[in-house]
Structure 1
Amino acid sequence: MTTTVAGPRERNWFGHPIGLTVLFLTEMWEMFSFFGMRALLVYYMTKRLDIAQDHASLIYGTYAAFVYFTPVFGGIVADRWLGKRNAVIIGGATMALGHFMMASESLFYPALATIALGNGLFLPSLASQIEGLYRHGDPRSKTAYNVYYVGINLGAFLAPLVCGTLGEALGWHYGFAAAGIGMVVSLVIYLAGSKHLPPEAPRATAEAPHPKHDHSILKRMGFLLGIAAIVVIFRGAYEQVGNTIALWADEGIDRQVTATWSIPMTWFQSLDSLIVFTATPLLVARWTRLAKRGIETPWLKKMAFGAAVVALSYVLLGAVAGWSNAHGVRAHWGWLVAWFVMFTLGELYILPVGLGLFGRMAPEGLRATSIATWFFAGFFGNLLAGALGTLWTPLSHGWFFVVIGAVALVAAALLYAVALRLGHVEKDDNAGMVAMPSR
């Protein structure tokens, strides 16, 4: 049974335990560093290092993939040996080092590898502490991951505005240094607030006795692996935001606002996060009202709906890009803003919901490993996104976005099919599987 470090009266953020605020702020600054570097990465490679676009897309995709690959092993190391607290501290310090290494062109590839390795320890070990903040059956746990997701996106919103502006105005290395400072702030917040976090659960070992309900656990893990495989396809489309969407903001958008000022290209990457933390409270309130009336959409159907909305957003963007190309003009910047609104609303129905699904269905003592499985989908998804990004140059921009929309639509169809055929696994878990809080 899940323990908690906070009493029911100890609240701080949206009525949740104060420990969620600690995790929220820790992740916010970690995301500031990560997305600050990401906002500059493609531009830095193509404009400063003179790397060809298709090669830069592959490098970007490979780096982003390994950011999601290393948490698989980091989660296992945290669960079996280091513990979550030590994994967060070691991983965060390693990531900070990698960000500061980005200030040197000669250390470009080692810096990317260092950030990815540190992220492997940090990412699953932080998110996997959320469930331990709530007692068994605490209804607040239903929306905890959505609140946490706001923290992720608040940092991601600030990053392009700060790191991106410094990189464009003063030099790329200033932007990378700012990202490193953000990682240091993240570590300081975690250490200062660690007393509000749940105690370490017993480490899982190879010699430990197996839980009584092995069949149930295997069924849950098989179910989650299947979902992760479908999310790989979705991420092939979703992860274009920092890659080809960033390139289109530079090449295909009229960013001029006044006669003397145009919107910096990196600023558009803040829109996704701005919309996330603006819309999340509204969505959470709506889902809460529906739940009180006995109306709850299964998580898998929410995810399928979100993937379909993302697919439609890309198809519509393809139409805008095709029209602009046919008329020999750049698209107005308002079209990209509108696309981000639609794209992000779809994202809110799939990514935080999927993260919550993996956290809630994880066996006790293996939660970091389960969360890492969710992020592992990002590994293959980013490899797919990088490969798809190589089509940017040979295809017209309009047709490229239509192809990406088709990829997201395939993911939506598969998620809906699984919801129809295997949705009972999710229901069984919510009905009271061992060591899992009820919904």
Structure 2
Amino acid sequence: MKAPSAGTLMGHPKGLFLLFGTEMWERFGYYGMRALLVLYLVAAVEDGGFGWTNGDALRLYGTFTMAVYLTPLIGGWLADNFIGQRKAIILGGIFFSLGYFTLGIPKTMIPGFELEVFYFGLVLICTGNGLFKANVSSLVGDLYHEGDHRRDGAFTIFYMGINLGAFLSPLIVGYLGEQVNWHYGFIAAGCGMLIGLALQLTLANKYLGEIGVVPSAKLNQQNKANMASTALTKEEKDRTKVILVMSIFSIIFWVGFEQAGGLFNIYASSFTDRDLFGFEVPASWFQSLNAMFIILFAPVVASIWVGMGKKEPTSPVKFALAMVFLSLGFFVMVWATMVQGGDTSVKVSMLFLVFAYLFHTLGELCLSPIGLSMVSKLAPLKFTSLLMGAWFLCTAIANKLAGVVGSFVGEGEAQVENALAIFASVGIAGLVTGGIVFLSANKLVDWMHGAEGDTHRDLEDEFNEELSVTATHEGMTEEPIK
């Protein structure tokens, strides 16, 4: 589909910045709501919450975040085959907004139906997520012709929009929810989504033209027909094995990483001294650390990989390094619980969580190339969507398991000891998984059959490509595979 001639900004089509703003505000809404969800559920009824146990809240959180990774598979299929990306984005934005505003309905307005309305709001959010997520990023790639050297830089700009939204939302939405009223926080999340939706409705025709209007399946029917008759070669089978192995191992990483919105959130609220010069830092603000660290360190990590040249670690070695960083983050939290000495009345320094999030972000920056470029590099063309689905399925399973693992923190005096056991167990599991992958790295690289490290470009192009992958957030692909 031909991109519109609407001029450029900073050397890129103006449509890129429209998509940047759309995604930034959508992520603003989602990450703000996510920062509040568990805290809202466990808050006492007299404080406006539901008064759930930690276990019940974390199990629901796990189910919800699992759906976040499964619904885009359905939404992407609908967009590709029936409604097109543009309509999917609009519909997704509408469902998102309705979901946030549903959570924002005061309980006094729905006596006796508070829980049913809450669940309905979550269903609306999951529906909106399925239609919206990934469809915006597919339009970014369509703004550029094949081989356009600006493409990688465009994804870098786009993903910084995601991280900017993820950074700002806990600060604003979290503050309103925790310090003013839970429902005001959810309403603020809905307002953020409405801004993104308004940008699409008013500016998309001008800056995106016909991109994303026609379902991509109709544009690629001939390619699909050609692929259907092609049998997999031995190399393709080996590369498929790499994708499946790494997808399964990634479950351990995401089980640990996704404690951020769950168990870490509860720990921040209940066991962390959040006093800063007389101001109590909202627990939800810690959710901004991951995005802030990505913005700060993604260019650094990308520069390191590019600067290493031929000595740059292979994807399996980067994965093993990611697991080490994950474990370090959990061992920091083990230290925190040891400082408490099993006493739930003792609150620890905020620095423990800050360093835990720092190590986990460094791990995410190392892991990004695994899920984000591995499938596009290794997957046989006819199975790219299926194998990307396998990656998302494993991530979805990990999110559910993260909620289950976190739920073992329990209640009362045993919470600190239980948290110590959880943090230590995940940390050890991360080291063991990293060790297994590291020892298997050479075999996995052999199965890749030269798929990585065999191209040579100038340093600027290499840096832009590396940053476009490294700067991504939450393990999503830099663009859906066509």
TM-score of the superposition, structure 2-length normalised? 0.78
Deviation at 1:19? 4.4
Indicate the residue corresponding to 1:174 in structure 2. Answer: 184
Structure 2 equivalent of residue 33 of structure 1: 29
| Contact 1:31–1:152 under 8 Å retained in 2 | yes
Partner of 2:97: 96
- CA deviations over 1:103-151 (Å, ceiling 9, x no partner): 2334101111111122112113223344434444455555655544332
1:410-438 Cα shifts (integer Å, max 9, x gaps): 44345435542222454544569xxxxx9
Task: Tell whether the 8 Å contact from 1:252 to 1:330 is kept in structure 2 after alignment.
Answer: yes
2:297 to 265, 279, 288: 279
User: Does the 8 Å contact 1:70/1:117 carry over to 2?
Assistant: yes
In structure 2, which of residues 336, 356, 364 is the aligned counterpart of residue 339 of structure 1?
Answer: 356
SS at match of 2:232: helix
Matches within 5 A, 1:142-157: 142=152, 145-157=155-167
Shift of 1:214: 4.3
* Count of matched residue positions in the alignment of Structure 1 and Structure 2: 427
1:191-243 per-residue CA deviation (whole Å, 9 max, x = no partner) reads 42463485554436699514265426666555434332222221111100000
> Do the aligned residues in 2 keep the contact of 1:128 with 1:371 (CA within 8 Å)?
no
Tell me if structure 1 keeps the 8 A contact 2:290–2:357. Answer: yes
Cα distance in 2, alignment partners of residues 224 and 6 from structure 1: 36
| Contact kept? 1:78, 1:87, Cα under 8 Å | yes
Residues in 2 aligned to 1:297 and 1:75: alpha-carbon distance in whole angstroms: 33
- Identity among equivalent positions (%) equals 31
Which residue of structure 1 lines up, in the alignment, with residue 476 of structure 2? none
State the one-letter code of the partner of 1:75. G
Structure 2 unaligned blocks of 5 or more: 44-48, 106-113, 456-461, 466-482
Give distance in 1, aligned partners of 2:142 and 2:448: 20
2:424 corresponds to which of 402, 408, 426? 402
Q: Distance in 1 between matches of 2:259 and 2:314?
A: 28
Aligned-partner Cα distance in 2 for 1:407–1:127: 33
Which segment is superposed worse, 196-205 or 330-339?
A: 196-205
Q: How far apart are residue 364 of structure 1 and its match?
A: 6.6
> Corresponding residue for 1:165?
175
Give, in whole Å, the separation in 2 of the partners of 1:161 and 1:99: 17
Distance 1:16 1:303, change over 3 A: farther
Work out the CA distance in 1 between the residues paired with 2:150 and 2:70.
Answer: 30
Which position in structure 2 is the counterpart of 1:257? 276
Distance 1:108 1:242 in 2: 18
Question: What is the correspondence of 1:277-426 to structure 2 with a 5 Å cutoff?
Answer: 277-291=295-309, 294-325=310-341, 329-351=346-368, 354-359=371-376, 371-393=388-410, 395-416=417-438, 419-424=441-446, 426=448
Q: Which residue of 2 aligns with 1:435?
A: none
Alignment partner, residue 80 of structure 2: 79
- Judge which range, 43-52 or 348-357, deviates more: 348-357
* Deviation (angstroms), 1:176: 0.3
CA 1:20/1:424 → structure 2, altered by over 3 Å: closer, same or farther? farther
Does the alignment pair 1:239 with 2:235?
A: no
Q: String of CA shifts for 1:40-65, please: whole Å, max 9, x gaps.
A: 11111111101111111101111111
Are 1:120 and 2:130 matched, yes or no? yes
Further displaced range: 175-184 or 347-356: 347-356
1:59 counterpart letter in structure 2: L
Kindly indicate whether the alpha-carbon contact (under 8 Å) linking 2:12 and 2:154 is maintained by their aligned counterparts in 1: yes
- Letter matched to residue 330 of structure 1: K
Amino acid in structure 2 at the alignment position of 1:64: T
Structure 1 counterpart of 2:267? 248
The residue number in structure 1 matching 2:471 is none
- CA 1:323 to 1:303, structure 2 compared with 1: closer, same or farther past 3 Å? same
Give the superposition deviation at 1:342: 2.0
Structure 1: state its 5+ residue gaps: 433-437
Mark the CA change 1:236 to 1:76 in structure 2 (over 3 Å): closer, same or farther: same
Bigger shift: 90-99 or 80-89? 80-89
1:24 corresponds to: 20
- Alignment root-mean-square deviation, CA: 3.3
C-alpha deviation, 1:100, in angstroms: 1.1
Q: What do residues 226-266 of structure 1 show as CA deviations (whole Å, max 9, x unaligned)?
A: 332222221111100000000110122111122x3221111
- Quote the offset at 1:171 in angstroms: 0.7
**Kindly tell me: are residues 341 and 379 of structure 1, through their superposed partners in 2, closer, same or farther at Cα, counting changes over 3 Å?**
same
